[in-house]
Amino acid sequence: MGHWFPFKPRSRPRGEWVYACYVENREERSDGNWFEVLYFRDVGRSRFGKLEFVGPALHSNSEFRNLATKIDSDRAYRESLLSDDPELPKLWRKR
């Protein structure tokens, strides 16, 4: 079972978007790769997005914060990552 970590973008005390990353290490997976996802949602829980990574390298907390900062400040980039995946609202329900 992976690990969920909430975090905030750089230089933003409170905003419209909420962020978290989810990480499964290579020992937890049959393919031997790291699995990382940056999840985000609006505070009203009506829009959800994600950015997934699968591979041999682990992203640092600062890299996830930099990505969240870009998502927060770049509307076109954020819009490209929004998803209609019905699992996303369920995933955020308890968080």
At residue 8, the pLDDT reads 86
CA distance 71 to 57: 22
Tokens of 67: 């990505």
Question: Per-10-residue mean pLDDT for the chain, 95 residues long?
Answer: 88 82 91 93 96 86 91 94 96 89
Domain that holds residue 85: 3-92
Q: Reduced to 3 states, what is the DSSP secondary structure of residue 56?
A: coil
The residues with which 19 forms a beta bridge, in sequence order, are 7, 40
At residue 1, the pLDDT reads 76
Q: Are 50 and 62 in contact (CB under 8 A)?
A: no
At residue 58, the pLDDT reads 76
User: CA 85 → CA 39, 70, 88, 91, distances in Å?
Assistant: 12, 22, 6, 10
Q: What's the total number of domains in the chain? A: 1
